[in-house]
Structure formats: C-alpha cells, structure tokens
Amino acid sequence: MSSALVIVGGYALAMVIFAVWARRDLGRGDESYYLAGRSLTGPILLVTMAATNFSAFTVYGSSGASYRIGLSFLPIMAFGTGFMAVSMYILGRKIRSRSVQHGAMTAPEMVMGQTGSRSAQLTMASVLVLATIPYLALQPRAAGIVFSALFGGPDWIGAVLVTLLVVAYTLTGGLKAVVRTDAVQGAIALGLLWLGLAMVVSDAGGISTAMDAISLSESTEELLGREGNYTLLIWVSTMVLWLFADPMFPQLYQRLCAAESDAAIGRMATLYPAVAWLAFIPPILIGTIGHLSYPDLDRAGSDNILPTMIMDVGGEWLGGLVLVAGLAALMSTMDSQLLATGSLVTRDLLDKESPEDWSRESVIISLSLLGLALSVWSDLSILDLGLLAFSMYAVMFPSVLASAHFDDIDGRAVVASILAGEAVVILAVFSPESFSGWWVEPVRGAVPTAVIPSLFASLTGLVVTQRYFKMREGFSWRFKINNSDIAPLAGLLVVFVMAQDFWWWGETETWALGLPRWIWWSAALSIAQTAIMARWVGKVSSR
C-alpha cells in the first residue's frame, strides 16, 4: 500500500518539522518546559484540552464500544465528558491559584505546598504515575491498529514507530511544542473523523436508512436501546467517573495550572460540551453502523471496526487519509501524557539534586517504554485499559479538592484518603466477586460501578483522619460559596440529574434522523449546560 505509506510517512515528517518549529521560544526552566510559562489563553486552552483528552480511547475505544452496545455509548461519552468541564471549572480556578502560590506544576506539588507533607506528595505522585501507565498504553495499542489496517503487518510495528515519533518531538519542545502540535492534530483529527463519518453514512444510504436497518433486525435492534447494555446504576456511575476522574489526569491538571487566567478556564469549560459532541459522534455512529457489515466481531476485534469501515468505503488513498485522524488523536494525547507524567517523576519522585535535563529525557523515554510494553503484551481491550486508569484517577479528587480549598488539611488525611480509595479499586480489579451481594460486580461494562464505593472510601478516609488530627484545632469543612454561585450550581445539578433519564430507559423507538429520543434529550441538556456556564462565567469574570 504505497499510497498509505506516503500519507502516514508524510504526516509523521510534517509533525516532526512542526514540533521543531514550535519549540522556537522555549525557555530552559521547568515553568517554561512543563507549563509554557503559564500563558495558555481561552481558545488555546480549549483546543489543547480537547486534543489531549480525546485520545485513542475516543476514536477506537468508543467505536469498539458502540459496536458492542450501540448508541447508548453516545450520551455516556458526549454528555458525560462534556459535563466534566463543570468540575474542571470549579477545581481549576483554585488549583491555578495554588499553583502560582507554591510554584507547583503537579497535583502532588500543590498538596505538598498546602500540607507540608512529603509523604502525601510521594503517595499521590506514585499512584498517579501507576494510573497513567495503563492509559499511556492505549496510544501505542491504537497506533498498532492503524498500522495493521493500513499495511497488514503486526500491530507491534506501528506501536513502536509511533512511540519513537512522539518521544522525539516531545523531548524537543516541552508544553509549548505539545500545545502547538495539539492545535494542528486536533483540527486534523476532528475534520477527518467527520469526513470518515460522511463516507460511511453515504455508503449505508444515509443515516436514517442505516438506523432503520439496525432497528428492523432482531440481532441489532438492541443497539438503539439501553436495556441489556446498561443498568441505571452503571449509567450513573459512568458519568460520575468522568466527572471526578478527568480533572485528575496529570496532562489535564497540568493545563489548568498553565492557564493564563481564571477567565481562560471559564471560556474553556463553557465551550467544552460542544467539542465533546463533535468528537464522539463520528466514531460512535461508525461503530454502530459497522455492525451491519461485520456482525460477528469479538470484543478485542471490535476495536478495529473504525479503521476497517473507513478502508472499506474510502479505498486506499481516502481511507488512509482519514485514518490519519486516529494517529492525530492518539499522538496529541500521548505526548501530553509523557510530558505530564514525566513532570510527576522529576518534580515529585526523583531527588531534586539530580541533573535536570538528564532527568527529563530519561524519564520520558522510560515511561514511553513502559507504556509500549503494556500495549504489546497486555490482552486487555482499549476500553478495559481506559476504565482501569479512570477509576484510579477518580480516587484522587477528594484530597486534591480539599487541599486546594483549605489551608490546614493534614497530610496524613490525604494519604489515608488515597490508600482507602485505591484499596477499593484494587479489590474491584483483582476480586470483583467481593462486590456480589451488596453492590454490583465490577466486571466488563460494570467496571465504572466501582467508582462510587471507592469515592466513598476515599472521602471517609479523608474526613475521619482529618477529624482525628485536626478537629481539636478548630478545623471546619465549611466551603465558601458566593450567593451568585448558588443558582448556576443548582441549575447544573438539575441538568446532571435530568441526564439520568430513567423514564425513557426501555425506549428504542427512533426519532429525527433515525436516532432515539434520548440521544436528542442528552444533546439538549448539553446546550442547557453551556448556557448556564456562559452566564456563570460572565458573572464571575465581571466581579
């Protein structure tokens, strides 16, 4: 496939050249290398947040999941991921302020600055690094899928080549180069994914025709419903997982610290739901429609449905071009993960006396090799790898939120919170049967249900330990909320509750464009969220 080789090779070369150009004004200090001098404005912050968050999990994990369970995955991802911008805004303004106050560039550094506890810093940094390795492995795994679809070779070759490419340009330019390549790769990924969707839908005779064909077949009609794919508990748990896990991604947290102002964070959070819908509609519709052409794929094989469909309908040249969207998405996430996780190791775990430049380079290379090894030798699907990492991240939220908002959180409370929450996650991974009888066994699609007991354990560990060590000193958990914040917070809570639309749970009847009514309902709620956020951010900015 010489044409595909030209397309992918040309894209790789262009990214290297662009990354070298993008590092032109890089400073030598950590603040320039890791935080781009804290200079990210609203539009740039939105683009880099989206490009970083919408990864191989977005393109291949979501298309594979929609192949297996249908359109029910669209509200979960598009509305759910869009709604997590609310927690980004609530947490982001405070951690940006604390980051400047303490010169902190990572969550563990901020916690260290607030608590004075080296143990809390080491505990949080260690868990964040461990949680990022499985998620980091998603990117080379997806690169292997693209390589195999284009050239027919083994997956590991593509995984190795893309890892080498991403490491090369990440080492050269730090966050400034990464943000600039994010902007280019994000635009490429989004544009080409929509082109791919247009080709697949056209080949199927239109979206209404494709949805009608799915609804009329007994073997596929469940793809337009939620019963059998989700229970209400799994649905709610998954949205809670996104809400608390995403702000704890080291690469997203890093960008909040790099924001130019609170207003920049507000503009990003307001527009994020629209970008989420634009990013998830193409892969999820392609995965669902793919069931018509390839009805018998297994769980691991379903992760290949998007490149398979694109190559079928687009041919060698156009199909190869659209598959570059997947490469753009995974590369724009992998570089950010390497940079952010590298900062955790060099600034939180390594001895401060170690040579600065040597530490940056060696750590990034080592992390890339760990992720590559897991991607090649693990038999977990892309969705499995993602959900494992997400559950570990979510446990961090209570201690980070408390540390950011209060000046006298005890470091031992942070350690207790993390260990208690991660103990539940580990139990869910290695002994899911322990949850039978009193909860839902967290296996396969029910993995997100572990987030509620793990968050409960994390919050309990934090509160109980803090009370034991600090309450006699007059500590109070009272949050300061401005009166003008009450109405938007209440409105956003209503939006989230309304998204758990149990009253339409069993409905499979199609509506406009052949899509179920509950898809349109979720989209309308995202519009309502955007309106509330715009008004709230406007009021806060005018204070």
DSSP code per residue over 25-81: T--SSHHHHHHGGG-B-HHHHHHHHHHHHS-HIIIIIHHHHHHHHGGGHHIIIIIHH
pLDDT at residue 82, as a whole number: 95
Q: Which carries the bigger pLDDT value, residue 333 or residue 463?
A: 463
Lowest average pLDDT, out of 53-67, 196-210, 275-289, goes to 53-67
Residue 23 belongs to some domain of the structure? no
| Amino acid at position 469, single letter | F
- Top pLDDT among 326 and 485 is at 485
Average pLDDT over the chain, rounded to an integer:
84
- Residue 513 clears pLDDT 90, i.e. is over it: no
**What tokens appear for 531 in the block?**
């309106």
Q: What local confidence, expressed as pLDDT, does residue 543 receive?
A: 65
Tally of residues, the chain:
543
- Residue at 99 is within a domain: yes
CB 212 within 8 A of CB 287: no
Domain assignment present for residue 193? The answer is yes
Residue 275 domain flag: yes
Q: What percent of the chain stands above pLDDT 70?
A: 90
Q: How many domains are contained in the chain? A: 1
What is the residue whose two structure tokens read 């207003």? 263
Q: Is residue 65 part of a domain?
A: yes
Position 219 in a domain: yes
More confident residue, 348 or 542: 348
Q: Is 259 helix (H, G, I), strand (E, B) or coil?
A: strand
Task: Report pTM.
Answer: 0.87
Whether residue 25 lies inside any domain: the answer is no
Most distant CA atoms of the chain, gap in Å: 72
Sole residue written with tokens 């199909």:
319
Answer yes or no: is pLDDT of 475 > 70: no
- Per-residue pLDDT at 408 exceeds 90: no
| Res 4: pLDDT | 67
pLDDT at residue 422, rounded to an integer? 94
User: What pLDDT does 173 receive?
Assistant: 63
**pLDDT of the residue at 148:** 78
474 within some domain? no
pLDDT by residue (tens digit) across 486-502?
Answer: 999 999 999 999 999 88
Residue 353 has pLDDT above 60, yes or no: no
CA distance 171 to 22: 12
- Asked which of 105-114, 235-244, 350-359, 412-421 is least confident by mean pLDDT, the reply is 350-359
Domain of 67, in residue numbers: 2-10+30-377+487-541
> For 97-145, how does the pLDDT look when each residue is reduced to its tens digit (9 = 90+)?
999 999 999 999 999 999 999 999 999 999 999 888 877 777 787 788 7
Q: Which CATH number characterizes residue 272's domain?
A: 1.20.1730.10
Percent of the chain with pLDDT strictly greater than 90: 38
For residue 60, the model assigns a pLDDT of: 73
Q: Which residues contact 467 (CB under 8 A, 6 or more apart)?
A: none
Rounded Cα gap, residues 155 and 143, in angstroms: 8
Residue 414, pLDDT score: 96
